[in-house]
Amino acid sequence: MKYLITIVGPTAIGKTALSIALAQHFNCEIISCDSRQFFKEMTIGTAVPSKEELQAATHHFIQNKSIFENYTVGDYEKEALLKVEDLFKKDDFVILIGGSGLYVDAILKGFDEFPEINPEVRTDVNSNYEKLGITYLQEQLQLLDSDYFEKITLENPQTLQNPQRMMRFVEVCIGTGKPYSSFLNQKKNNRNFTPILIGLDAERSVIYDRINQRVDIMMKAGLLEEAQTLYANKELNALQTVGYRELFSYFAGEITLPFAIEEIKKNTRRFSKRQLTWFKRNEDTKWFDFSVDRRKIITYIETKIGQ
C-alpha cells in the first residue's frame, strides 16, 4: 500500500516544519502544492522554505518554473502525479504539502474534462470583461447556466468576484453551447495511493498574529526590493498575488508604504479564511492544533496505516 500524507491548513500555520518532521520520520520526500512557490523569481513573498529546510528533506516543485511560463493547475496535476508515481517506486510514503486548495484537489481527485475551446471565444469573453467588468460575466453565467450560477451563489459566492474563474465558466458555455455544469462529475479519476489528510489549525486570533508577524519578517527580509525587481512585469498572472499586488500599488503612487503593508496583512488574513473554508469541506481531514506534539500526529498516521 502506498500512502500520500497530505498536510493542509492556512498560511503561516507551520505546515513546512511539520512536513519536514514527517518526511524525516517516514524517510520520504516532499511535494509542494503551493501554487506561488513554483516560481523562481518569487522567494520572500511566497515564504519559500529556507535553504536549511530544503536540505532537511528532499522537496519537489519549489521554484521550478518561471513567472514567464504559462503554468496551469492541469499542467501541475500531470507533472506532480508522474513525480508521485516515481517516488512510490522506492518509498511507501510521500508528503504532499500546500495551501492551494485547487492544486491539492488536483492531486487527490483530479479534474473533470472539458472540450477544447476556440481561442477566439476566449478572446471575445476577455474583451467583453475588460469593457463591461465582472457584471458582464455574472449575467452571462446566470443566462447560460442558471443552475451553476445559483449553486455558486449559495455555496461559494466569492467565486462570482473572481474574473479568471468566471471567464472560464462563460467561455465553456459559449464555446460548447452547453452549460458548464454539464461537464462536471462525468469522470472518476482513480489514484493508486491512499491519502491520509492532516489539517493544522489554530484560534483565529493566533492565525492572524502569526500572519502579521510573518509579513513584518518578510519586509525585513527584503520583500520591498524583491517586489521592485518584479514591478515591470506586474501584469503577469503569477504576480497577481497578495504581498506583491499591494506593493505594486505603492510603487504606482496609489498608496503609502505603511498602508500597503497593512493591506498585505489584511488580504493575507482574508486569504487564510478562504483556505480554511476550502479545506474544511473535506470530512476525511483530521485536524490538529498547530502547537500539538508532533508525536500525536505521527501516532494518528500510523494508526491509519495499520487499519
Annotated binding site for substrate: 11-16
C-alpha to C-alpha distance for 138 and 119, rounded to whole angstroms: 21
- Cell numbers at 265, concatenated: 496583512
Binding annotation for ATP: 9-16
How far is CA 307 from its chain centroid?
Answer: 31
Burial (Cβ within 10 Å: 0-12, 13-18, ≥19) of residue 104: buried
SS3 percent helix, strand, coil of the chain, rounded to 5, is: 55, 10, 35
User: Taking the CA of residue 191 as centre, how many other CA atoms within 13 Å lie in the half-sphere pointing to its CB?
Assistant: 19
C-alpha to C-alpha distance for 31 and 193, rounded to whole angstroms: 15
Binding annotation: 9-16
C-alpha to C-alpha distance for 110 and 107, rounded to whole angstroms: 6
